[in-house]
Chains A and B, each alone.
Chain A
Amino acid sequence: MKQRWSGLALAVGAMTVSAAALAAPPTAEMLSNACAGCHGTHGGSAGPSMPSLASQSKTAIIEAMKKFKSGERPSTVMGRLAKGYSDADFEKMGDFFSKQKFHPTSQAVDPAKVKHGAELQEANCSRCHLDDGKEGKDDTPVMASQWLPYLNIQMQLYQSGARKMPEKMAEKVKPLSKQDLEALLHFYASVK
């Protein structure tokens, strides 16, 4: 068997086939590493307005990319970039980032807001945002340790209606004051 294969390898060597024509389709690693220039190595962000993708659930990544691609979720660069990929690519990216370790961040938060936010999380958000927002499940993103500026930008997009809140989330968010929401974001940013 082995002999036969190596014979074939020799035969192929003689053909002038370009490397690209023979290469395997992009792997999850090839696709996802390209994202790290903006989202950090292995999806752990060091930029305050960029989310960490590390440890997000596979479904959350896929859904986010699909919504960027369709324009349902507002963005600057992401809508265009998403158009460069197929659903199969999104699957691979989701798979890659879901397997990366949670990325804790150290950022300045207000302890009083964190305390109030923790209570609000427990009472309102904990059924979907599991484990203090550390665990991503289905299409619910990991909130813990995301940078405060990123969380603020997204909350503003929700409040303006540019980004559509899931119904369950809208019900919970509606009665909360501006101060409550700020406290919640400080809480998520503080979780390591």
Chain B
Amino acid sequence: MTMQRRDFLKMVGAGAGVGAATALTGCATQQAAGGGRKVVVIGGGYGGTIAAKYIRMMDKSIEVTLIERNDHYISCPFSNLYLGGILPDLSKLTIKYDKLAANHGIKVVQAEVTGVNAAERTVTTSKGVFNYDRLVVAPGVDFRTEEIKGYTAQTPEVAPHAWKAGPQTILLRKQLEAMKPGGTVVLSIPLAPFRCPPGPYERTSMIAMYLKQHKPGSKLIVLDANPDIVSKKGLFLKGWKKHYDGIIDYRPAKKVTEVSADGKSVLIEGIDEVKGDVINLIPPQRAGAIAVSAGLVGPDKNWCPVNPTTFESTIHKNIHVIGDACIAGAMPKSGYSANSEAKACANNIVNLMNGRAIVDFSGINTCYSFLSAKEAVEVTGVYLVDKEKNVIIAAPGSVGVSPDLSETEAIYAESWLNNILTEMSS
């Protein structure tokens, strides 16, 4: 081939993005000529807000509608600090959408999405039907509660998961406060992959800190379905030994398969019973319900396979899936990953809608965890696409964790929160 790859791509335009140039080049031309310029984003969390914002920043001629069921969003990152008593409430973790909407001309609709029709390119909601040329699905996670015997709609009210920040987090905190000293807390961790790989271990640290300070003589039993600590293992073990020796009873390879109706007892593999005064039961996870009902999950029935460059679903054309719900190769299911994926997805949606060449993915993850009131640790990585395998991999040398527990990292972590929430809300 004699011509330059990039020039060549300019001609191919949108088609190359989904491996079906013949069908879509015409469509892209139509869009560029002022035909369809509508993007709908489902979900106003770490991914959805950023996708909506960056599409508008990159191309004001594209109309963007953000559909979210709540009028606010509460960050999961840092919500463990509320459980630990470092944060007095969730106000610092709460964002609204008014500034984002006004600053960027995003139409924010508070509605429940009830269906997606990929063939018709429509999203049906409690407030009407929305047409799209491209759809971004950023629903986060939902729970595979059917894998836990006895789990009903009432279970989260007695054995909270608190894995979506908000009322569940507040309930868990209240249960901890109400527990008598010398009590037992049980934390159940599902098999990976789940939202926020170090999250359960940060939660272990924060609950242990709360018990140490407010409930003398209490224990925290951690039932981890995984064979070992999933993330930042050495640092968590070091922190637990330093601060919470005798409080945390960590038990690997203990998969909870059943819960009692009163939420005070769980069974491991259907046999061994573990009782607790407070049970924080985090069920196994899959992509948010709307991704499942829209037929976006892959053969594993849990997560959404996507093109790693455009984040376009490999199942349905013109639908992009970002954040926890998608399969993003080596990238962890974290808030920062969702932020990074959203920007790359936005960038390439704008390229596709303008008939321009798509651009290689480049993303970052930076994820902090607190071990005590003043000490935090982090994991980082730079991510790109392995062109031969067509999958997101880590850039060599970029992935690693803090060398030690660090007060400096805790200071940086707070600024991380300030910046990432400001990005999402303004």
Cβ contacts A1-18/B at 8 Å (1 or 0 each): 000011011101110111
The closest CB in chain A to the CB of B337 belongs to A37
Known: A12-B16, A80-B398. Contact between A47 and B416, CB under 8 A? yes
Q: Are B310 and A19 in contact (CB under 8 A)?
A: yes
Q: Does B400 contact A (CB under 8 A)?
A: yes
> B residues within 8 A CB of A77?
366, 378, 380, 412
Cβ contacts B404-426/A at 8 Å (1 or 0 each): 00101101101111111011001
Q: Are B19 and A16 in contact (CB under 8 A)?
A: yes
Cβ contacts B94-126/A at 8 Å (1 or 0 each): 000000000000000000000000000000000
The closest CB in chain B to the CB of A5 belongs to B11
> A residues within 8 A CB of B409?
76
| Chain B stretch 387-406: residues in CB contact (< 8 A) with chain A | 387-388, 390, 394-400, 402, 406
Considering the chains assembled together, what is the distance between the CA atoms of A23 and B359 in angstroms?
Answer: 5
Considering the chains assembled together, what is the distance between the CA atoms of A81 and B381 in angstroms?
Answer: 6
Q: Are A19 and B17 in contact (CB under 8 A)?
A: yes
The closest CB in chain A to the CB of B22 belongs to A13
| Chain A stretch 1-50: residues in CB contact (< 8 A) with chain B | 5-6, 8-10, 12-14, 16-27, 29-31, 33-41, 45-50
Q: Are B16 and A19 in contact (CB under 8 A)?
A: yes
> A residues within 8 A CB of B19?
16-19
Considering the chains assembled together, what is the distance between the CA atoms of A37 and B419 in angstroms?
Answer: 6
Known: A18-B390, A45-B419, A49-B415. Contact between A33 and B360, CB under 8 A? no
User: Pick the contact of A39 from B6, B395, B419 — CB < 8 Å?
Assistant: B419
> A residues within 8 A CB of B384?
26, 84
B385 CB, min distance to chain A CBs, angstroms: 4
Considering the chains assembled together, what is the distance between the CA atoms of A70 and B420 in angstroms?
Answer: 27
Considering the chains assembled together, what is the distance between the CA atoms of A164 and B415 in angstroms?
Answer: 25
Interface centre among A36, A40, A89 (most CB of B within 10 A): A36
> B residues within 8 A CB of A29?
58, 347
Interface centre among A20, A24, A25, A39 (most CB of B within 10 A): A20
Q: Does B307 contact A (CB under 8 A)?
A: yes
Count A-B contacts at CB 8 Å.
199
Q: Does B140 contact A (CB under 8 A)?
A: no
> B residues within 8 A CB of A8?
8, 11
Known: A9-B15, A10-B21, A83-B398. Contact between A20 and B309, CB under 8 A? yes
Q: Does B339 contact A (CB under 8 A)?
A: yes
Considering the chains assembled together, what is the distance between the CA atoms of A123 and B417 in angstroms?
Answer: 38
Q: Does B41 contact A (CB under 8 A)?
A: no
Q: Are B366 and A24 in contact (CB under 8 A)?
A: no
Considering the chains assembled together, what is the distance between the CA atoms of A85 and B347 in angstroms?
Answer: 20
Q: Are A40 and B423 in contact (CB under 8 A)?
A: yes
Interface centre among B18, B20, B394, B420 (most CB of A within 10 A): B420
Q: Are B21 and A24 in contact (CB under 8 A)?
A: no
Considering the chains assembled together, what is the distance between the CA atoms of A84 and B380 in angstroms?
Answer: 10
Known: A12-B16, A33-B343, A50-B419. Contact between A20 and B308, CB under 8 A? yes
Q: Are A85 and B382 in contact (CB under 8 A)?
A: yes
User: Pick the contact of A85 from B12, B13, B359, B395 — CB < 8 Å?
Assistant: B395
User: Pick the contact of A33 from B5, B13, B16, B54 — CB < 8 Å?
Assistant: B54
Q: Does A149 contact B (CB under 8 A)?
A: yes
Considering the chains assembled together, what is the distance between the CA atoms of A25 and B357 in angstroms?
Answer: 10
Q: Does B340 contact A (CB under 8 A)?
A: yes
Q: Are B11 and A26 in contact (CB under 8 A)?
A: no
Interface centre among A24, A37, A41, A49 (most CB of B within 10 A): A37
The closest CB in chain A to the CB of B11 belongs to A5
Cβ contacts A71-85/B at 8 Å (1 or 0 each): 000001100110111
The closest CB in chain A to the CB of B397 belongs to A83
User: Pick the contact of A50 from B11, B308, B412, B426 — CB < 8 Å?
Assistant: B412
> A residues within 8 A CB of B402?
76
Cβ contacts B187-222/A at 8 Å (1 or 0 each): 000000000000000000000000000000000000
Cβ contacts B369-390/A at 8 Å (1 or 0 each): 0000000001011111111101
Q: Are B15 and A21 in contact (CB under 8 A)?
A: no
The closest CB in chain A to the CB of B418 belongs to A47
Q: Does B294 contact A (CB under 8 A)?
A: no
The closest CB in chain A to the CB of B57 belongs to A41
Considering the chains assembled together, what is the distance between the CA atoms of A114 and B420 in angstroms?
Answer: 30
B342 CB, min distance to chain A CBs, angstroms: 9
Q: Mind listing 8 A-B residue pairs with CB under 8 Å?
A: A8-B11, A9-B12, A19-B18, A19-B19, A23-B16, A41-B426, A48-B414, A153-B411
Which residue numbers of A lie inside 8 Å of B, CB to CB? 5-6, 8-10, 12-14, 16-27, 29-31, 33-41, 45-50, 76-77, 80-81, 83-85, 89, 149, 153
Across the A-B interface, give the 9 residue pairs with the lowest CB-CB distance, nearest first: A84-B382, A47-B415, A13-B21, A84-B398, A84-B395, A83-B397, A13-B22, A47-B418, A46-B422
